[in-house]
Amino acid sequence: MRRLWLAGGLAMLAAVAACSSSPSPPASTLNSASTLACPARSGRCTAPGTVRWSVRLPGSASFEISTGQSILNYPAAGEEGIADFGGIPSRYLANVAVAPGLVLFQQPNRPVIEAIDPATGKRLWTTKLRTPRGFSPNTDVSGALSITLTVSGGLITAYDQADYLWWVLNPATGAASPPQKWVAYSQSSGGTLGQPGIYVLPASPSSVLMVNTLQVQDVDPVTGSVRWHAAVRPWTGEALIGDTLYLDNDPYNYNFSSKPNSSPTGTDTAIQRVDVGSGRLLPQLPLAADLRAEDGEVVQFAEDPGVLLVEAGGALARISPATGRAIWVYAAPTRTQGRAQPGPTTVPPTVEFLESGQVNGAAYPPPSPGTGTDIWRVLVVSLSTGQATPVDLGRAVPYGGAGINTGGEGGDGWNLYGSVLLAAAATKPQPAGAGGFSYTRLDGVDPQTGRVLWRGPVAADLYVLGETSSGPPLIIAESCAPSALSPDQSAAQGDQAFCNSERLYAINA
């Protein structure tokens, strides 16, 4: 479910437009309060770029950071109205999920889940997950217990991939089920259940689909009993539409090593289908010849969760869920960077591609948008018709690679949300007496003019986790407040420091 997430788009465009004729608000540091970062009756509480609230992440130990560091975008998975983000660096917050009315996070290295109100920062509930007798938190290679959080179908699921344990939580109260264990089955082909690629997909409040690289099983969330399981071929992308689960079929041929005298052809030829009511494997949908490629992948976007898409060979195709035939095919330009991302909230729904410019006609992308002989463009593709509308990025965008990042998670992360560019600017290192560190500021930029529409907070580091998609439009981020820094005497570089605790906070978009 890496691709199905709803970036809040720009429901806030009206607010931005209203403020565009007035000076941008000054950058503000993170407030140390645990709730609202500005007076509740202040008009600036809704001004773009203002820190609405910040919450200290409990359980954080002192750890080393590089000040002035910024990472924009950690998109992972979700569904309509939901965005889910992971991949936070070692010893930071293990996982965050943003859902309608909830921001969920795991306390670092502990089986404890907390929920806060995204509008106010108030804690709603805290739940310690029940663990089996003798449970000792296994750690991943980064040295932290990492629990994956998924919110879907009216359920929250928490999954410890190292121990194959999972829990179901009530979104209103946080009440958690007893721990359940993934049931590993051997495959008739000789393959076994592998740890990579395990997903928890709640299909309904009474049924949880658990999918790994070789099979799908339907589990009762209360008793943990397995209703059915079905063997599938390895896959990388999936879509859940109605009562059918769609999977691409072994696009990278993960299991080729078990076949004598074989080689990893990696060609995707069809779409697998599983009836989630019975577990019955349905006939595969063959792909057209021009969609059979090594990078073929089934894709689904929250903008229109009923649309089945395939990205392959630089093309995006809408596929009929019933026949597998292409309804339309959009051939992305050769200079497209990464894959598609959700577009602005529009009717009909759209997705976007980023096309780089050139340097004196060269094929390699320039170091920043708006340079070279060509201007970078955003291609807004209608999910209804497959028609693309180009939007040129202006030459005056002052942020270069910090503004648009084409090397994000999965190689498809970039930072244009509808018509606003999120850009990170690092300050110059301060004098030793003033802390001696550099800091990071988040700005909202008009990509067509390069004008700074609003200035966000100043912090020691910055990790943008995503945007909420319900309630007030907020950018959810993680950072170390300047007041939480202390010098690192053993640091090899002057920009390294100890952070006493990271904070989770919301910035008005």
Domain of 73: which CATH number?
Answer: 2.130.10
Identify the pLDDT of residue 435: 62
In a domain, 2, yes or no: no
* Residue 381 covered by a domain: yes
Q: Going edge to edge, which strands form the sheet with 420-426?
A: 28-29, 452-459, 440-445, 420-426, 416-417
Pick the closest to residue 354 from 397, 401, 420, 405 (CA basis): 405
pLDDT in tens, the chain (509 residues): 333 322 222 222 222 222 333 334 445 567 655 556 676 566 667 788 888 888 887 655 567 777 888 777 654 443 444 555 555 555 566 678 877 788 888 887 788 999 998 888 889 999 999 998 888 765 554 556 778 888 777 788 888 877 778 898 999 999 998 888 776 543 333 344 444 356 677 787 788 888 877 888 888 887 878 899 898 888 888 899 989 999 988 666 554 444 434 344 567 789 999 999 999 999 999 998 888 887 788 988 877 888 999 998 889 999 999 999 999 999 998 888 777 877 766 677 888 888 877 655 555 555 556 556 667 788 889 999 999 998 887 766 656 544 555 544 334 556 766 567 788 877 777 766 556 788 888 888 887 777 888 888 888 888 887 777 666 678 888 888 888 888 776 665 667 788 877 888 888 87
Q: End-to-end distance of the chain based on CA atoms, in angstroms?
A: 26
What is the per-residue pLDDT for 76? Answer: 41
Residue 140 within any structural domain of the chain? yes
Domain count, the chain: 1
Write the pLDDT tens digit of every residue in 92-112. 666 788 777 888 888 877 889
Kindly report the backbone phi and psi dihedral angles of residue 379, in degrees, each rounded to the nearest multiple of 5, phi listed first: -110, 110
- Cα gap 354→375, rounded to integer Å: 11
- Output the pLDDT for position 228: 92
Looking at the domain assignment, is residue 339 inside a domain? yes
Torsion of CA 183, 186, 191, 197, to 10 degrees: -10
Q: Enter the tokens of residue 320.
A: 């009929």
What's the CA gap between 134 and 90, in Å, rounded?
A: 25
Other beta carbons within 10 Å of 292: 17
Question: Residue 262: what pLDDT?
Answer: 39
- Return d(Cα 467, Cα 398) in angstroms, integer: 23
CA distances from 124 to 105, 118, 468 (A): 12, 10, 17
298 neighbors 248 (Cβ within 8 angstroms): yes
To the nearest 10°, report the CA torsion of 292, 294, 295, 300.
Answer: 40
> Would you report the helix, strand and coil content of the chain in percent, each value rounded to 5?
5, 40, 55
pLDDT at 378: 83
Residue 96 is predicted with a pLDDT of: 81
Number of H helices and E strands in the chain, helices first, is: 1, 39
Report if residue 83 sits inside a domain. Answer: yes
Cβ atoms of 78 and 55 closer than 8 Å = no
User: For residue 490, is it within any domain?
Assistant: yes
Check: CB of residue 450 under 8 Å from CB of residue 462.
no
Task: Report pLDDT for 124.
Answer: 94
pLDDT of the residue at 192: 41
What is the pLDDT, as a whole number, of residue 463?
A: 81
* Segments of 57-136 assigned E as strands: 63-66, 69-72, 75-77, 83-85, 96-99, 102-106, 112-116, 123-128
- pLDDT for residue 185: 45
User: What is the model's pLDDT at position 89?
Assistant: 55
Kindly report the average pLDDT of the chain as a whole number: 73
Residue of 245, 234, 239, 128 whose CA lies nearest to 187: 234
Residue 3 lies in a domain: no
In this structure, the number of other CB atoms found within 10 A of the CB of residue 489 comes to 6
Phi–psi pair at 229, nearest 5 degrees: -145, 150
Cα 246 off chain centre by: 21
Quote the CA–CA distance of 235 and 242 in Å, as a whole number: 20
Question: Which residues constitute the domain of residue 308?
Answer: 13-508
Alpha-carbon gap, residue 402 to 261, rounded angstroms: 46
Q: How far apart are CA 314 and CA 326, in angstroms?
A: 15
Q: What does the pLDDT look like over 298-309, one tens digit per residue?
A: 988 877 888 999
Largest CA distance in the chain: 71
Does residue 5 form part of some domain? no
List all residues 6 or more positions away from 333 whose beta carbon is below 8 Å from its beta carbon.
353, 355, 379
